[in-house]
């Protein structure tokens, strides 16, 4: 027996917009706008271009894209996606972050620059 998407979507509302093989339907699903979900590149096929992942995320009604730095912000903006969780961000990593007093001065400068860059690109400061 072949699983039919039309059958599934009538019985399971969560299956609407998915074809019989579990792929997203070509149509954009209507959204109520209550959930503002984000995605990361890792959930897409490895051979998809970044632009294709952005296009798909936007079509699915997602609002943001996690873990992409400033070099990708223009593409995200093109598809109406908000950059979220900038890796590793201006705050450094565990071994060279604000957890060490000697790193405070250089990181303060980097963080101010990152905030300025985010503001200039319409990226929420909470993403940094």
**77 CB contacts (<8 Å, ≥6 apart)?**
121, 122
pLDDT greater than 70 at residue 126: no
Looking at per-residue pLDDT, the higher value among 86 and 50 belongs to 50
> Tokens in use for 33?
């706008």
Averaged pLDDT for residues 74-85:
92
Q: How far apart are CA 122 and CA 43, in angstroms?
A: 25
The SS3 of residue 68 is coil
Give percent of the chain with pLDDT exceeding 70.
69
pLDDT digits (tens, 9 = 90+) for 106-121: 888 888 888 888 888 8
- pLDDT of res. 62: 92
- pLDDT of res. 80: 94
Global model pTM greater than 0.85:
no
């Amino acid at each position: 027996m072949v699983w039919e998407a039309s059958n599934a979507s009538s019985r399971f509302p969560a299956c609407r917009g998915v074809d019989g093989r579990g792929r997203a339907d070509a149509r954009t699903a209507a959204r109520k706008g209550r959930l503002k979900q984000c995605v990361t590149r890792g959930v897409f096929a490895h051979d998809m271009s970044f632009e294709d992942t952005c296009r798909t995320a936007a079509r699915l009604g997602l609002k943001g894209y996690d873990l992409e730095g400033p070099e990708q912000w223009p593409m995200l903006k093109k598809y109406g996606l908000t950059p979220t969780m900038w890796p590793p961000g201006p705050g450094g990593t565990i071994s060279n972050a604000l957890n060490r007093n000697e790193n405070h001065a250089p990181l303060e400068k980097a963080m101010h620059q990152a905030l300025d860059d985010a503001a200039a690109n319409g990226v929420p400061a909470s993403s940094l």
